[in-house]
Amino acid sequence: MTAKQLYYTLIGLCVVLLIGLAGSIYLGLTMLDRQADELRQAEIEREVIDIQGLSLLRALNEIEEFSELEEVAQRIIPQEKDQARTVREIISISQQSGANVSSFSFPSSDLGDEDDIVSQALPVAGIPGLFELEITIQDTNGTGFNQFIAFLEGLEQNRRTSQVKSVTINPDSEARSVVEFSINLSVFIRP
């Protein structure tokens, strides 16, 4: 082999080595990019898992915190829609306070509609499973103002009449201490 042939062989070998080096660098960089992408994806998944873990811990703390409130709500809110019992309790309150109750009014009912379990009650917004039934109580015979106040206080303490929505009072034209009234109540139930 002559010096010229050796020279060309070494140049060819250098070219092949440079091409191999460039190919190795390219393959190495693509592998690094792929590994970096996998690492970024793993970091994102870890962050998501950490956030979900924190959310789960927060939810567990809230469940522990509000479980007592749920138990209280279960004890306070009647589980049935017993209008007769509600009326009996209101009449008992009126008799204890000395107030006269002339009539009770309930919303119209869709009795017989099998799809509607609680036909007169409306769902309470934001609280699934809780329904509100409105009752109107009227006195057209006249009640003393102090007895009326005692009646309202009795309603306030009753667990079935959870909210007095409106009160209309009409004083008697002759005896100013005697009033006729109309009260709209909300009874909350969980069927």
Residues 6 or more apart whose CB falls under 8 angstroms from that of 89 comprise: 158, 160, 161
| Angle value at C-alpha 65, between 61 and 69, nearest 5 degrees | 150
Task: Give the per-residue pLDDT at 44.
Answer: 95
Q: pTM for this one? A: 0.52
Dump pLDDT digits (tens) for 114-153: 445 456 778 878 777 778 888 888 888 888 888 988 888 8
Q: Closest by alpha carbon to 145, among 183, 99, 114?
A: 99
CB 81 within 8 A of CB 110: no
- Residue boundaries of the structural domains of the chain: 1-76, 83-189
Task: Give the per-residue pLDDT at 82.
Answer: 61
Dump pLDDT digits (tens) for 40-93: 999 999 999 999 999 999 988 888 877 776 666 565 555 555 667 778 888 888
Task: Give the per-residue pLDDT at 42.
Answer: 94
Token readout for 24 is 């190795």
Task: Give the per-residue pLDDT at 109.
Answer: 64
Q: Closest by alpha carbon to 79, among 160, 4, 14, 9?
A: 160
Task: Give the per-residue pLDDT at 53.
Answer: 93
Q: How far apart are CA 19 and CA 102, in angstroms?
A: 104
Task: Give the per-residue pLDDT at 75.
Answer: 57
Name the strand (E) or helix (H) holding 122.
strand 122-123
Sign of CA dihedral 42, 46, 48, 49: positive
Give domain 83-189's CATH superfamily: Ribosomal protein S6/Translation elongation factor EF1B (3.30.70.60)
Task: Give the per-residue pLDDT at 127.
Answer: 78
How far does CA 4 lie from the centroid of its chain?
89
pLDDT at 171 over 50: yes
Average pLDDT over residues 15-38: 95
Of all residues in the chain, the percent with pLDDT exceeding 90 is 28
Residues 6 or more apart whose CB falls under 8 angstroms from that of 108 comprise: 120
